[in-house]
Amino acid sequence: MKEPTGYWTFYCNPKRWYIDDFIRSGETEDTFSVSDFHRNYFKEGQFGVIRVGRDKRTLKELAGRNRLQSGVYAIVEILGEPKLMKSTKKGYWAEESDGDKEKYRVPIRYVKTLLDNPVLLEELDLPADAYDQHLVRGQQASTMPLNPLTFHTIIDLIGGYETISLLEKDTLPGEFALDEVILEGAKKHVTVNAYERNPLARKRCLDHYGYNCTVCDFNFYEVYGDIGKDFIHVHHLTELSSIGEEYKVDPIKDLRPVCPNCHAMLHRRKPAYGIEELRGMVK
Ligand SMILES: [Zn+2]
Ligand SMILES: [Zn+2]
């Protein structure tokens, strides 16, 4: 089995489940059946893409709808772990009885839909390290782990992290309200906070840099065990004054993982200290 990556490809057959109707309905929450051998690897806070293969609907089945081209039609967020259940939605199944089958289904939220401008597989030009053959060539499965770099490349293609509508959360995994305190009084407090708190930009940064503090190398998992797993703050490097209207966060260039102590120290001065600068001060 391909190793889980925390990102998923969901395979959608439009002949059995009318994804075009679902997206047009404006509904955002659903469940998606998962491959049995993957079901223990789905966790809240992961992400995935909905991939449509060949649309083999007959003209009668299409009933005026456009035939879909093979591609990625949505970005989804995983909301929890899979449960053995029937589909919770009616009206999108070609055969209603398909939805009535008890299967392991994972709760998902559509955070961006691409019905009118899908990422077409034949036009998807992936660099070698971001090439995911299961996404591109397809698979006889409900789900497949997705190469994180492929996922991030797709996000870049569809306009970047700012265009994904994630629900506001009070706290994110690996974060708490300290940011509110340390950024208090900062002119663009809310804006900067948003970059440091955007879950997708955070993930991209942490996929790249890992979960050790960039300043002091502290790792919460090593010290606190399980409760410290994946816990870290993310600091935004770009100076507030240089952020214009057109600014787009580049999670690798602009963000760094830092522990809450170092994060607080970085913000002891306005503008904030640099990472190297603070590293030089640590005794
Ligand atoms: Zn630190
Ligand atoms: Zn910061």
pLDDT tens per residue, range 166-206: 765 544 444 444 444 344 444 334 444 566 667 888 889 99
CATH class given for the domain over 7-162: alpha beta
The Å distance, Cα 232 to ligand 1 centre, comes to 9
The Å distance, Cα 193 to ligand 2 centre, comes to 8
Report residue 219's pLDDT band, with 50, 70 and 90 as the boundaries.
very high
Q: Note residues around ion ligand 1 (Cβ under 5 angstroms).
A: 213, 215-216, 218, 259, 262
- Tokens at 62, concatenated: 């299409």
The Å distance, Cα 33 to ligand 1 centre, comes to 41
Q: Which residues of 13-30 are buried (b: 16+ CB within 10 A; e: fewer)?
A: ebeebbbbebbeeeebeb
- Tokens at 70, concatenated: 């093979």
Averaged over 90-119, what is the pLDDT?
A: 95
The Å distance, Cα 229 to ligand 2 centre, comes to 20
Q: Is the pLDDT of residue 30 over 90?
A: yes
The percentage of the chain sitting over the pLDDT mark of 90, rounded to a whole number, equals 67
The Å distance, Cα 167 to ligand 2 centre, comes to 21
The Å distance, Cα 48 to ligand 2 centre, comes to 28
Q: Is the pLDDT of residue 112 over 50?
A: yes
Report residue 226's pLDDT band, with 50, 70 and 90 as the boundaries.
very high
Of all ligands present, the nearest one to the C-alpha of 262 is 1
Averaged over 101-118, what is the pLDDT?
A: 96
Q: Which residues of 209-230 are buried (b: 16+ CB within 10 A; e: fewer)?
A: bebbbbbeebbbeeeeeeebee
Of all ligands present, the nearest one to the C-alpha of 212 is 1
pLDDT attached to residue 32: 97
Of all ligands present, the nearest one to the C-alpha of 181 is 2
The Å distance, Cα 211 to ligand 1 centre, comes to 11
The Å distance, Cα 193 to ligand 1 centre, comes to 19
Report residue 48's pLDDT band, with 50, 70 and 90 as the boundaries.
very high
Report residue 78's pLDDT band, with 50, 70 and 90 as the boundaries.
very high
Of all ligands present, the nearest one to the C-alpha of 215 is 1
pLDDT attached to residue 119: 97
The Å distance, Cα 187 to ligand 2 centre, comes to 13
Q: Is the pLDDT of residue 138 over 70?
A: yes
The Å distance, Cα 80 to ligand 2 centre, comes to 29
Averaged over 76-82, what is the pLDDT?
A: 96
Of all ligands present, the nearest one to the C-alpha of 235 is 2
Greater model confidence, 70 or 162: 70
Q: Is the pLDDT of residue 127 over 80?
A: yes
The Å distance, Cα 234 to ligand 2 centre, comes to 7
| Contact partners, residue 95, CB within 8 Å, separation at least 6 | 16
Q: Is the pLDDT of residue 244 over 70?
A: no
The Å distance, Cα 235 to ligand 2 centre, comes to 4
- Tokens at 44, concatenated: 């809240």
**E strand or H helix at 112:** strand 103-113
Residue 214 to residue 141: CA distance in whole angstroms: 39
Averaged over 260-264, what is the pLDDT?
A: 93
pLDDT attached to residue 216: 97
CATH 3.10.590.10 region(s) of the chain? Answer: 7-162
Mean pLDDT taken over the chain: 87
The Å distance, Cα 254 to ligand 2 centre, comes to 11
The Å distance, Cα 265 to ligand 1 centre, comes to 9
